[in-house]
Chain A
Amino acid sequence: MLQRCEACGAFAYPAREACPACLSAGLAFVDAPRRGALLAETTARVPSDVYFRERAPWRIGLVKMDCGPTMVAHLHADCVEGAPVVMSFQLDKSGQAVAFARPEGETPNMADDRQWREMTADPKFRRVLVTNGRSVIGQEAVAALKAAGAKTVFVGVAEPWRPFAGEQLLRGQQGIEVVTLDASDEKSTADLAADIGGKVDILVNTTEYVRPGGLLDRRGTSIARDEIDQAYLGFINLAQAFGPAMRMRGADGVSSSAAWVNILSVHALANWPAFGAYSASQAACLSLSHCLRAELRPGGVKLLNLFTGPVDTEWFQTVPPPKVAPRAVAQAIVSGLKGGLEEMYVGDVAEEIRQRLAVNPKALERELDR
Chain B
Amino acid sequence: MTNSLRTPYDGIVMAAPVTIPYARYSIESAQWWIGRALSAVVAKAGIKASDIDGLCVSSFTMGNDSGIGLTQHFGLCVRWLDTIPLGGASAIAALRKAARAVQAHDADIVACVAGDTNHVDSFRLTLENFSRFNQDAVYPYGAGGANASFALIARNYMRTFGVTREDVGRIAVAQRANALRNPHALMKTPLTIEQYLAARPISDPIHLFDCVMPCAGAEAFLVMRDETATSLGLPAARLLSTIERHNAFADDSMQLRGGWAMDIGELYAMAGVKPDDLDIVQTYDDYPVITMMQFEDLGFCAKGEGAAFVRQHDLTIEGDFPHNTSGGQLSAGQAGAAGAYLGLVEGLRQVLGEAGPTQVKNAKLGLAAGFGMINYDRGLASGAAIFAGPAR
Contacts and interface: CB of A to CB of B under 8 A. Distances in A.
Interface string B81-108: 0000000000000000000000000000
B254 to A, nearest CB: 5
Interface in B92-144: 123-124, 127, 132-133, 136-144
B20 interface: no
B152 A41 contact: yes
A307 to B, nearest CB: 28
Contacts of B203: 42-46
Contact of A51 (B138, B142, B152, B202): B142
A92 interface: yes
B148 interface: yes
A49 B139 contact: yes
A9 interface: no
Contacts of B250: 20
B253 A39 contact: yes
B201 to A, nearest CB: 5
A36 to B, nearest CB: 10
Name, among B140, B142, B148, B376, the residue most crowded by chain A CB atoms within 10 Å (CB to CB).
B142
B335 interface: no
Contact of B377 (A49, A52, A70): A70
Interface in A1-41: 13-16, 20, 39-41
B162 to A, nearest CB: 15
Given A14-B376, A49-B139, A44 B144 contact: yes
Contacts of B148: 42, 44, 47, 60
Given A14-B137, A42-B204, A58 B142 contact: yes
B367 interface: no
Contacts of A41: 152, 155
Name, among B149, B203, B206, the residue most crowded by chain A CB atoms within 10 Å (CB to CB).
B203
Nearest to B133: A14
B201 A40 contact: no
A335 B200 CA distance: 41
Contacts of B147: 44
B376 A44 contact: no
A70 B153 CA distance: 13
A99 B139 CA distance: 12
Contact of A40 (B132, B136, B152): B152
Interface residues of B, number: 36
B312 to A, nearest CB: 27
Contacts of A51: 142
A168 interface: no
Interface in B168-222: 200-206
Contact of B140 (A42, A44, A56, A92): A92
A71 B137 contact: yes
Contacts of B144: 44, 46-49, 52-53
A83 to B, nearest CB: 14
B145 interface: yes
A62 B250 CA distance: 15
A169 interface: no
Name, among A42, A52, A70, A99, the residue most crowded by chain B CB atoms within 10 Å (CB to CB).
A42
Contacts of A70: 253-254, 377
Contact of A60 (B142, B145, B205): B142
A73 B141 contact: yes
B29 interface: no
A8 to B, nearest CB: 15
A56 B376 CA distance: 22
Contacts of A99: 137
A74 to B, nearest CB: 6
A72 B151 CA distance: 12
Name, among A13, A43, A72, A73, the residue most crowded by chain B CB atoms within 10 Å (CB to CB).
A72
Contact of A52 (B123, B132, B142): B142
Contacts of B141: 60, 72-74, 98
A61 interface: yes
Nearest to A43: B204
Interface of B: 123-124, 127, 132-133, 136-145, 147-149, 151-153, 155-156, 159, 200-206, 250, 253-254, 376-377
6 contacts: A40-B159, A40-B254, A42-B155, A44-B142, A46-B203, A62-B377
Interface of A: 13-16, 20, 39-49, 51-53, 55-56, 58, 60-62, 64, 70-74, 92, 94, 96, 98-99
Top 4 A-B pairs, shortest CB-CB distance: A52-B142, A47-B144, A42-B151, A14-B137
